[in-house]
Amino acid sequence: MQYAHDPALILARFQFAFTVGVHIIFPAFSIGLAAYLAVLEGLWLRTGRPVFLDLYRYWIKVFSIVFGMGVVSGLVMSYEFGTNWSIFSKKAGPITGVLLSYEVMTAFFLEAGFLGVMLFGMNKVGRKLHFAATCCVSVGTLISMTWILSSNSWMQTPRGYTIDPATGRFMPADWLAIIFNPSFPFRLVHMGLAAFLSVAFIVGATGAWHMLKARKAGKISSEPVRVMFSMAMWMTAIVAPLQILAGDAHGLNTLRYQPVKIAAMEGDWVSEDHAPELLFGIPNMKTEHTDYAIRLPLAGSLILTHSLNGKVPGMKDFPRDQRPPSPVIFFSFRIMVALGMLMMLVGLWSLWLRRNSTLFTSPVFHRVALCMAPAGFLALLCGWITTEVGRQPWTVYGLLRTSDSVSPVALSSMAFSMTAFVVVYVLVFGSGMGILVRMLGRAPQEGEHDTPPDHATEILAARMHPGVIDPSTGKGA
């Protein structure tokens, strides 16, 4: 790349990518899980079946951990625009900063404000108000996603601005055009579905694990385990195919507004009709050629333009200094698509098993579902790498270069903070993952609701002494 000689810039980018990559997992987890909790509590209120309350209590503990990690890693993001990208912030702040403020005011406060009631308040406010609090938190996560994707999409497909000739700042001219910029609806749907799908696979894998464990012990798995597995598989069967359609639509949108990104994703150098699809290859930015390519004839045109003779762009159509690094996004894109296909197959398989009434008795399928636990999150990360690295070398697409966006921060400071971030993140979020895995390794308790009548006390107890007090017996472990 043309700015490969600037180590401070590379560090600033790597640090931002690292912190945002860790962060994105938690909001996506919260979006999916909050919606799931709202559905569970709603079903409990409607049907009165205790199994839904059991599941609610099981997953709310996970939610409290995930949400906490999302808050602290997100706090970093709201300051990192300024610490790492001060020139970008100064020039684009009048637009992106305002969208971020709207996110904080309409979403973060809503989530954080009602989280306390959701976690500790059922006994204090009653069932209906408690359900309302759960819904507020869930809606908050969705509003938050909406604003942040609007802001991100504006950086990809900027609209509704003018540029102040004196300062080079982006001046808002039409807020509706800014918010509803051309790539926003596609990105929003794609990300929303990704969050639901990621959580569906986590829930499904948890259910599968406990069914396998029960089977090994020669027992029948408990009702909450079966219900959570079944719900997760319904979600997968419905959402995974939808996600592929949404991804396809997003791809067409990208082809229209960011053709060079598509060319780099596909490893195509020369623009052609009747284009093949590369199943594998290693794009070489220097020789302008994709080595070891395995081609599927005509598929490139068919996928990208929905016709066999559609014209597909090549990177040579664009100046060298406007091409994103193809080797990265060529692979991240392919991994994402492959995972997407796998997820859809799992969904279809689950439908088949359901039809034969063997959904809860097929150990092979349960093992597959267990292995697929990280599939949603991996695909989500690969998707973000594709779209963000594919935006390079720009921060605001076609208008402001990444190399012109970076803060005047000394290399030594950047290097120090990079090290500190990696050490702290590995320690903190690694421990967090460990705690989550241990938590999910414990089966949901049936009839937790029968022991003490005080919901708040119970959740607090579970939060306070998960390893020490077994809520169903009240005895120390």
Partner 1 sequence: MMDFAYWLPIVWAVILVAAISIYVILDGFDLGIGMLFALERHPDRRDVMVNTIAPVWDGNETWMVLGGAVLYGVFPGAYATLLPAFYLPIVLMLLALIFRGVAFEFRVMTRGTGREGMWNVGFMAGSAIAAFCQGAILGGVVQGIKVVDGAFAGGPLDWLTPFSILCGLSVMCGYALLGATWLIWRTTGVLEESCRRWAARLAVGLFIGIVAVSFWTPLLHAPYLRRWTDWPNIAFVAPVPVLVVVLAVLFVMGLRRGHSKGPFLCALGWFFLCLSGLGITVWPYAVPPGLTLWDVSSPPSSQFFQLIGTAIMLPIILTYTIYSYHVFRGKVTETDGYH
Footprint (CB under 8 A) of partner 1, residues 386-415: 407-410, 412-413
- Give the whole-angstrom CA distance, residue 155 versus residue 414: 24
Outline where 6-49 has alpha helix (H): 7-47
Window 170 to 199, contacts with partner 1 (CB under 8 A)? 171-173, 175
Residue 201 identity (one-letter amino acid): F
R_g of the chain, CA atoms, integer Å: 24
CB of 117 to partner 1, least distance (A): 6
Q: Give me the least distance between CB of 85 and partner 1, in Å please.
A: 9
> Cβ 412 to partner 1, closest distance in Å?
7
Cβ at position 91, least distance to partner 1 in Å: 8
Nearest distance, CB of residue 79 and partner 1, angstroms:
5
Lookup: tokens for 90: 């100064």
x-marked contacts with partner 1 along 75-104 as a string, rule CB under 8 A: xx-xx-xxx--xx-xxx-xxxxxxxxxxxx
Residues 255, 260, 262, 267, Cα dihedral to 10°: 150
Which position has the token pair 């890693």? 73
Residues 6 or more apart whose CB falls under 8 angstroms from that of 419 comprise: none
Stretch that binds partner 1, among 34-42, 43-51, 210-218, 458-466 (CB under 8 A): 458-466
Binding mask 335-374 for partner 1 (x = CB under 8 A): ----------------------------------------
Residues 112-171 that bind partner 1 (CB under 8 A): 112-117, 119-121, 124-125, 164, 169, 171
Segment 435-454, which members bind partner 1 (CB under 8 A)?
Answer: 435, 439
C-beta of 289 vs 449, nearer to partner 1: 449
25, 28, 69, 148: which one binds partner 1 (CB under 8 A): 69
- CA distances (Å), 439 to each of 28, 124, 200, 244, 356, in order? 19, 26, 17, 32, 32
Beta strand 394-396 pairing with 161-163? unpaired
Strands (E), 102-215: 161-163, 170-172
- Tell me the one-letter amino acid at 472: S
Q: Is the preceding peptide bond at 297 cis, omega within 30 degrees of 0?
A: no
**Shortest gap between Cβ of 459 and partner 1 (angstroms)?**
9
Nearer to partner 1, 42 or 94 (CB): 94
Distance of CA 339 to the CA centre of its chain: 14
CB of 162 or CB of 358, closer to partner 1 = 162
User: Helix 127-156 to helix 184-216 angle, to the nearest 10 degrees?
Assistant: 130
CB of 202 to partner 1, least distance (A): 18
With CB under 8 A as the contact rule, the residue among 41, 54, 111, 268 that binds partner 1 is 111
- Give the nearest distance from C-beta 94 to partner 1 in angstroms: 4
- The answer to whether the CB of 138 falls within 8 A of the CB of 35 is yes
Residue count, binding to partner 1 (CB under 8 A):
83
* Strand 289-296 relative to strand 277-284, pairing: antiparallel
The answer to whether residue 461 forms part of the interface with partner 1 (CB under 8 A) is yes
Which of 148, 275 has the CB closer to partner 1? Answer: 148
